[in-house]
């Protein structure tokens, strides 16, 4: 079955029908990840009226080789074809070296990026902090007093703890447990239908119910998506504006995005900062390039350079070493929603489930975007292979 055969009959046959019951599973996600707004309520994140152009530096890099998960040497072309890759963009020094798109996709098709949304919201935090709208060192309750009885109101939890995923929260980020925290969370955000007999709750109500795990905030990298939704809520309350408007005015427009992005909403209009952004591959490349250039696009300072320096310099290696992903990127860290996967090179990564990646490697002037519809949410062997692919491309440019 190919992506093309999904949802193009009237009505689609049962095994080609994409609904909220199957949209995050194969093969249905081949279609759904580029058609999220056909499944869920969404808000626009308007692009610029004058998109920043890309210079062209096309070259055939399909022959670059990498080691796949079984240790076999494979060409990049074969790796792209053999994976559920929907979009792949490689920039060198801001110029397009290669673009590769799957069926139904092109560089301007919005595709869900899941937790890459977190990094985008992390960058937005820098803008709001520079404007004095947001103080990362203030307690979360300074902005949202009504969550005082939750983990976010206990133990001196600050905005910085949200930004760095170091909240001592009791939440099991298990994507596959049908009755776990993630399952209840996904009903709250509207991504899954609430089954009969289960209580209906909205995202902000769900956030207010989260409890501490007893650890000191700031000590340990503990990856919990709700922290980023909490952050988005703080942004909205601090600024008095919807997250979608903030993302547009402070990132998408000034960075010269060419396609309106959008973000999913719960039943009360709460926007899913942690994973609901859908954006065009070329605009994700612009975002990565803006980060690589210390926040500057066409001479405009979009995100403060100091915020990006802080990401590069001040992530806690100790919190990382104690944390959930220490084995995934040894020696890495996580700061303001970006993964630093090579401290010496200042290589940054943004990661989303089902194979969403932005890779930013300053020494080789490389930015790579990959969006896809991988079968399982978190496939560590695949993540490592992608990392090798990205590193091989960066090495090719060095």
Site for a second copy, residues 251 to 310, rule: CB under 8 A: 265, 267-270
Note whether 236 binds a second copy by CB under 8 A: yes
The DSSP code for 258 is S
**Residue nearer to a second copy on the CB measure, 269 or 305:** 269
Q: Which is nearer to a second copy, 20 or 57 (CB)?
A: 20
Is 196 a residue that touches a second copy (CB under 8 A)? Answer: yes
233 binds a second copy (CB under 8 A): yes
Dihedral sign for Cα atoms in the order 365, 330, 220, 356: positive
| DSSP bridge pairs for 87 | 101, 371
User: Could you say whether residue 204 binds a second copy (CB under 8 A)?
Assistant: yes
Binding to a second copy by residue 40, rule CB under 8 A?
Answer: yes
* Whole-Å CA distances, 78 to 60, 74, 235, 370, 375: 13, 7, 42, 15, 18
User: Interacting stretch for a second copy, rule CB under 8 A, among 114-122, 169-177, 233-241, 326-334?
Assistant: 233-241
Note whether 65 and 74 are within 8 A (CB): yes
Helix (H, G, I), strand (E, B) or coil at 333: strand
Helix (H) / strand (E) containing 341: strand 338-342
Q: Helix 116-130 crosses helix 305-313 at what angle (to 10 degrees)?
A: 130
Using CB under 8 A as the binding rule, whether residue 20 contacts a second copy is answered as: yes
Tell me if 12 contacts a second copy by CB under 8 A: yes
Quick check: is 32 catalytic? no
Which one of 52, 115, 154, 166 is the catalytic residue?
115
Residue range at the interface with a second copy (CB under 8 A); choices 4-12, 69-77, 120-128, 293-301: 4-12
DSSP letter string, 346-385: TEEEEEETTTEEEEEEGGGTEEEEEEE--SSS--HHHHHH
Q: Identify any residues that bridge with 370 across adjacent strands, giving them in sequence order.
A: 88, 357
Instruction: For residue 47, state whether it binds a second copy (rule: CB under 8 A).
Output: no
How many chain residues are in contact with a second copy, going by CB under 8 A?
Answer: 30
Whichever of 42 and 154 has its CB closer to a second copy, that residue is: 42
Which positions touch a second copy (CB under 8 A)?
A: 7-8, 10-12, 17-20, 37-44, 196, 202, 204, 233, 236-237, 240, 242, 265, 267-270
Which residues are part of the catalytic machinery?
115
């Amino acid at each position: 079955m190919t992506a093309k055969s999904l949802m193009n009959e009237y009505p689609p046959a049962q095994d080609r029908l994409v609904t909220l019951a199957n949209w995050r599973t194969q093969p249905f996600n081949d279609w759904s990840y580029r058609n999220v707004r056909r499944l869920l309520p969404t808000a626009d994140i308007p692009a610029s009226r004058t998109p920043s152009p890309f210079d062209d530096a096309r070259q055939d890099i399909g022959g670059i080789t990498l080691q796949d998960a079984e240790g076999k040497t494979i060409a990049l072309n074969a790796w792209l074809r053999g994976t559920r890759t929907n979009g792949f963009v490689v920039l060198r020094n801001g110029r397009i070296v290669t673009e590769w798109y799957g069926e139904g996709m092109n560089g301007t098709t919005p595709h869900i990026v899941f937790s890459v949304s977190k990094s985008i919201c992390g960058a937005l935090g820098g803008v709001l902090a520079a404007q004095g709208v947001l103080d990362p060192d203030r307690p979360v309750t300074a902005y949202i007093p009504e969550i005082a009885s939750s983990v976010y109101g206990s133990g001196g939890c600050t905005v910085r703890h949200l930004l760095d995923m170091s909240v001592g929260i009791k939440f099991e980020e298990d994507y596959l447990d049908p009755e776990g925290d993630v399952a209840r969370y996904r009903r709250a955000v509207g991504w899954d239908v609430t089954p009969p007999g289960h209580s209906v709750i909205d995202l902000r109500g769900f956030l207010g119910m989260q409890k501490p795990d007893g650890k000191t905030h700031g000590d340990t990298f503990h990856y919990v998506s709700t922290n980023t939704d909490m952050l988005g809520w703080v942004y909205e309350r601090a600024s008095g504006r919807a997250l979608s408007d903030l993302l547009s005015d402070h990132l998408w427009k000034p960075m010269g995005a060419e396609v309106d992005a959008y973000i999913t909403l719960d039943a009360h209009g709460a926007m899913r900062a942690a994973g609901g952004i859908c954006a065009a591959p070329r605009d994700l490349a612009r975002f990565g390039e803006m980060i690589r250039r210390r926040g500057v696009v066409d001479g405009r300072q979009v995100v403060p350079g100091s915020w990006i320096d802080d990401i590069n310099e001040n992530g806690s290696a100790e919190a990382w070493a104690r944390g959930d992903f220490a084995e995934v990127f040894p020696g890495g860290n996580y700061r303001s929603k970006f993964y630093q996967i090579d401290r010496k090179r200042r290589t940054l990564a943004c990661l989303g489930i089902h194979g969403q990646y932005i890779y930013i490697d300053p020494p080789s002037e490389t930015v790579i975007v990959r969006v896809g519809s991988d079968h399982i949410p978190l496939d560590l062997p695949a993540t490592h292979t992608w990392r090798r692919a990205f590193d091989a491309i960066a090495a090719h440019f060095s």
